[in-house]
Structure 1
Amino acid sequence: MTGAEGTFCLVLHSHLPWLAHHGAWPVGEEWLYQAWAHSYLPVVDLLERFAAEGRRDVLTLGVTPVLAAQLDDPYSLRGVHDWLGNWQLRAHGAAPRLPELAAREHRESAVALERFEGRWRHGFSPLLRPLVDSGVVELLGGPAAHPFQPLLDERLRAFALETGLRDTALRLGSRPAGIWAPECGYAPGMERGYAAAGVRRFLVDGPSLGNQTWAARRVGDSDVVCFGRDLEVSYRVWSPRVGYPGHPDYRDFHTYDHASGLKPSRVTGVEVAPQDKRPYDPEAARAAVRGHTEDFVGAVVARLRELRAAHGREALVVAAYDTELYGHWWHEGPLWLESVLRALPEAGVRVTTLRGAVEAGHVVGSVEVPASSWGAGKDWNTWGGPQVADFVHANAELQRELLGLELGGAVRDPVADQAVREALLSLSSDWAFMVTKDSAADYARYRAKAHAERFRELAVEIRAARGGSDLGRVDRARGRAAELRALSGPFGHLDARAL
């Protein structure tokens, strides 16, 4: 190992649940398009600039299969293009009342439109593949539809993981060797399933390793390696209580000009009412970015030195965040991200990927990982606690019914395929998370229930098809499955017979 100070890995987790065709405002497609415009476009632009400079192993990028499906989907591509155009129109409409804000938003929307029309017209995969193939990023995959894996039957867990990994391989031409386990959820023994699927590394939260995150470790008696998120460093940016985005000079996410939907204010203060917040000042925000870059780089260097002194060897720091933090939730996030990734090497820190950390020798011994997650309390409570006890019961019943269906046969059955697809979408971890956190809980309950009901509707037809020769009913069932697939159609390669 040759890093003067040590090694740093930035991991970004890109994920949204399936939103296309399932409502628009405030948490349906609007959520997807805002994240696309304000996070995915600028982060990809940043990575392409690093690629043009010849940089490699810049960061580790998790992209869930369900998000990748939406970013390649023609319907969603048309939708975000319309949304970007509407953003520019909203800026024009605000000009008479808020000229400075309107001019700034016009410039930003024009850049986003140009970027989308010039680079994104055929979806995300054509942009992501060269970044992966050239080693600019290491890609992490994941199971289809982002389920909380510890609460899945092992058969369904293996099926969801294989479906997700195969989906990524079909889009990008290579199968990820690492995954972001949804919600960093882990149950003892899951490493065996990972090894069987060809997964060689995954991420857990720091407390899962007793906060001994200074090196990666093999899990149990397997060759699968886990990395722990260093909370002392990660929480400087974003934690349950504090973080850089709350600085008074950053743009306030929650305050809107309701006539235009634009965001005119800076944070100012957490106790300041929206009408009393000060106008956003880009120069003041850029100054805050410079200060927070220095603070973060200093924290990484200090942490690496502390860990080296404690363990007698070059150490590793892994910081991991949702990609959507950068730009969508934290307007200045992409600028900070680029600034940090440029400043860390200048401070003597090796910046690399999880793969690069393994190659650099940062794997030390083995560990038994307890049942854990990155949720509140670092346990399973967010997805399996009292607030979502009805989810736990309903999801267990749905799994029993799904696994009780006879889905084999000589040829693929589009009704069975869509039934499995609906079940996977109902089992998404997002719905329980949104209920526990009281974030659009009604929408989350509706989505989970709707997909479960559609699964059962198709399951009735699957069972009926075994007991008779009513070709008219079979045709109607296939027509209904086609209707549902038009609404919820990720993972086109999904073959129910694999269950």
Structure 2
Amino acid sequence: MLGYLNLVLHAHLPFVRHPEYEDFFEEDWFYEAVAETYVPLLQIYEALVKEGVDFRITMSISPTLSAMFEDKLLQDRCLARIERLIDLCRKELVRTQFQPEFNKLAQWYLGRFTTVRDTYLRYGRNLNHGFRHFQDTGVLELITVGATHGFLPLLSVNPECVRAQIGVAVQSYKRVFERAPRGIWLPECAYMPGHDEFLKEFGIRYFFVDTHGLLFAKPRPRYSVYAPVYCQSGVAAFGRDVESSKQVWSAKEGYPGDYNYREFYRDVGWDLEYDYIKPYLHKDGKRCFVGIKYYRITGPTEHKEPYVPENALAKAAEHAGHFMWCREKQVEYLASLMDRKPVVVAPYDAELYGHWWHEGVDFLYFLFKKIHYDQETIKTITPSEYLKEYPENQVVDVNFSSWGWKGYCEVWLNGSNDWIYRHLHKAGERMVELARKYPDAQGILRRALNQSARELLLAESSDWPFIMHTGTDVEYAVKRFREHIINFTKLYHQILDGKIDEAFLADLEYRHNLFPDIDYQIYR
């Protein structure tokens, strides 16, 4: 065995929970992720362990996503969503009875959604339990993420805000997974020199940076991105491998674009007659993705052929074999140049697998089996295991960097979203002021201070400027950002004036109920 592959899945969603509405469009992000990515991932972990496959994978689960996993309201709504899909599949069996290719697909979807529901119920509707189980078995290493996925370099005007994002994340992880996190996924892979000191303070041993974060470090890393380095603080940094990322991420060259794979954008929510599909849409009656997609990519034109799951599955196995072969050749070459076993770090957004690339979870299943049975060159590993095997590493000054367009924050700071930062910086300054002014608050004052911290953290989410930049759901992103800033500002003035509106506070505590054990003193 010559080297290692470290697969990293970054699992995150912004906190979207709207009990004030019977149903809410943006909550679909969560329901789709559960049914298409996170339950299927647990299913392949179960299968691999049962089959005796020795594998390792690393997953970051953001505190906002874990909060949604354990929320009773979202659990009820998610289960109802899956049940509606099962009901629609049964109706589709009747509608397509004289269309063999679609009837077969309707049967396939019925079986798939039924197993998703059964798995979801088996974990008590709280997927944190499932991921914690596989961490306890040793095949999965769970790491944390910034509390609300705040873009840390752009919050550094107030260092206390950066510290709070990390401290609250670690506290949340300990409560949910009953152990301390060993590593962290810095939101948007964004690192600023000095932030590793906060990681060290909270016991974090390692983090990840994009490729250029290590390549432009000083001094230049001896092993490029194929071994970790230490910051001056002693916290380790792992760098992303470009080659393995390109094979999956690339819109032109990546596996997900194969013509046999399922077409994401052809959904029955848009394809079927309106009156037929209306009961499965939102209350406003607007067409949207429902989750049943009958076509494959087929080609670059609008013409699409019916999806054939067996062909797609075979292609996923073929691509898994190709990916493994590429990693073997890559590691063989690297091992010839290095005096230690190289580690290829391959990080991806978790929802690429299953949600965007429907066959992606099957790809992972085949990949782990092929690595276990079909070769002896590489082995999967977690960052903690690699650091245990190689505790001595080069000390460098890691470069400021992020992932995304151009690699230096531009996605999160540009003309579409730069207006938010003066508000974030002022609110951060005010939160620090409150924490220092009221060091030992009790009762309703303490509740108001803790909720102020929640509102600030929610406003800091990097998802809002990202959506503003991409233009996908700008109205909602702007609304959410403004709402949290306004809520924080109202609480700030009520606290200073000694006139806390308990009804207003209770409503915020009910609607924005994440981080139940938050302590505003994290901002002191």
TM range (shorter): over 0.9
Q: Which residue of 2 aligns with 1:12?
A: 9
* 1:290 Cα offset (Å): 1.8
Decide which of 512, 520, 523 is 1:488's aligned counterpart: 512
The answer to whether the 8 A contact 2:18-2:24 is kept is no
Give the secondary-structure state (helix, strand or coil) at the position aligned to 1:19.
coil
Kindly provide the CA deviation profile for residues 388-412 of structure 1, in whole angstroms up to 9, marking residues without a partner as x. Answer: 2112222222222322323422425
What CA deviation, in whole Å up to 9, does each residue of 1:65-98 have, x standing for no partner? 1100100111111111001001112222333144
Which of 129, 132, 143 in structure 2 is aligned with 1:129?
A: 132
Query: Aligned residues: percent identity?
Result: 28
Separation in 1, partners of 2:80, 2:251: 34
- Over 3 Å counting, the alpha-carbon distance change for 1:393 and 1:87 in structure 2 is same
- Which stretch of structure 1 is more off in the superposition, 347-356 or 97-106? 97-106
2:371 paired with 1:344: yes
Compared CA separation, residues 200 and 24, structure 1 to 2 (3 A): farther
Q: Which residue of 2 aligns with 1:432?
A: 465
Partner of 1:216: 228
Residue in 2 aligned with 1:181?
186
In structure 2, do the counterparts of structure 1 residues 192 and 236 end up closer, same or farther at CA, with 3 Å as the change threshold?
A: same
Q: Matches of residues 63-74 of structure 1 in structure 2 within 5 Å?
A: 63-74=61-72
Report the alpha carbon displacement of residue 240 of structure 1 after superposing the two structures with TM: 5.7
> 1:148 Cα shift?
0.7
Q: Secondary structure at the match of 2:418?
A: helix
1:219-234 matches, cutoff 5 A? 219=231, 221-234=232-245
The answer for the alignment partner of 1:116 in structure 2 is: 120
SS at match of 2:244: helix
Return the alpha-carbon distance in structure 2 between the equivalents of residues 215 and 34 of structure 1: 36
User: C-alpha offsets along residues 237-291 of structure 1, whole Å, 9 cap, x if unaligned?
Assistant: 113654111111100111112235321111112x312xx2111111220121122
Quick one: distance in 2 between partners of 1:352 and 1:81? 34
Paired residues of 1:61 and 1:138 also in contact (CA < 8 A): yes
CA 1:24–1:279 in structure 2 vs 1: closer, same or farther (change >3 Å)? Answer: farther
CA distance in structure 2 between the partners assigned to 1:51 and 1:382 by the alignment: 39
> 2:429 matched to 1:391?
no
Distance 1:118 1:176 in 2: 26
Distance 1:487 1:291, change over 3 A: same
| Aligned mates of 2:384, 2:245 — CA distance in 1 | 20
| In structure 2, distance between residues paired with 1:404 and 1:169 | 28
Equivalent residue of 2:393, what SS? strand
Contact 1:55 1:136 in 2 (8 A): no
Contact 2:120–2:127 at 8 Å: present in 1 too? no
- The offset of 1:156, in angstroms, is 1.4
Hey, what does 2:283 align to over in structure 1? none
CA distance in 1, matches of 2:190, 2:439: 30
In the aligned structure 2, how far is the partner of 1:50 from the partner of 1:482?
Answer: 46
Rounded Cα–Cα distance in structure 1 between residues aligned with 2:382 and 2:25: 32
Equivalent of 2:298 in 268, 271, 288: 268
The TM-score, its normalising length taken from structure 2, stands at: 0.88
Q: Is residue 254 from structure 1 mapped to residue 270 from structure 2 by the alignment?
A: no
Q: Distance in 1 between matches of 2:422 and 2:34?
A: 34
Report SS of the residue matched to 2:123. helix
Which moves more between the two structures, 56-65 or 414-423?
A: 56-65
Matched, 1:103 2:107: yes
In the alignment, what sits opposite 2:163?
Answer: 158
Q: How does 1:69-468 map to 2 (within 5 A)?
A: 69-95=67-93, 96-97=95-96, 98-121=102-125, 123-152=126-155, 153-210=158-215, 212-219=224-231, 221-239=232-250, 241-257=252-268, 258=270, 259=272, 260=277, 261=290, 262-269=292-299, 271-273=300-302, 276-345=303-372, 346-348=374-376, 349-361=378-390, 364-405=393-434, 406-411=437-442, 413-465=446-498
CA, structure 1 residues 416+41, in 2 after alignment: closer, same or farther (shift >3 Å)?
Answer: same
One-letter amino acid of the counterpart of residue 186, structure 2? A
Counterpart of 2:422 in 1: which secondary structure?
helix
Measured at CA, do residues 57 and 496 of structure 1 come closer, stay the same or move farther in structure 2, by a change above 3 Å? farther
What SS is found at the alignment partner of 1:388? coil
Partner residue in 1 for 2:280: none
> Would the aligned equivalents of 1:383 and 1:433 in 2 still touch at CA under 8 Å?
yes
Instruction: Please report the RMSD computed on the Cα atoms of aligned residues, expressed in angstroms.
Output: 2.0
Call closer, same or farther: CA 1:49–1:103 in 2, change over 3 Å.
closer
Question: Where do 5+ consecutive residues of structure 1 fail to align?
Answer: 466-472
- TM-score under structure 1 length normalisation: 0.92
Post-superposition offset of 1:24: 8.6
- Describe the SS at the equivalent of 2:60: strand
Structure 1 window deviating more from structure 2 (314-323 vs 400-409): it is 400-409
Give the 3 Å change call, closer, same or farther, for CA 239–362 of structure 1 in structure 2: farther
Q: Judge conservation of contact 2:316–2:362 (CA < 8 Å) in 1.
A: yes
- 2:281 is aligned to none
**8 Å contact from structure 1 (residues 415, 458) kept in 2:** yes
Distance of 1:144 and 1:287 partners within structure 2: 39
SS at match of 1:11: strand
Residue by residue over 1:161-209, the C-alpha shift from the partner in whole angstroms, topping out at 9 and shown as x without a partner, is 1111111101121010111111111001111111111111011111211
Q: Distance in 2 between matches of 1:365 and 1:210?
A: 13
Q: State the 1:334 CA deviation.
A: 0.9
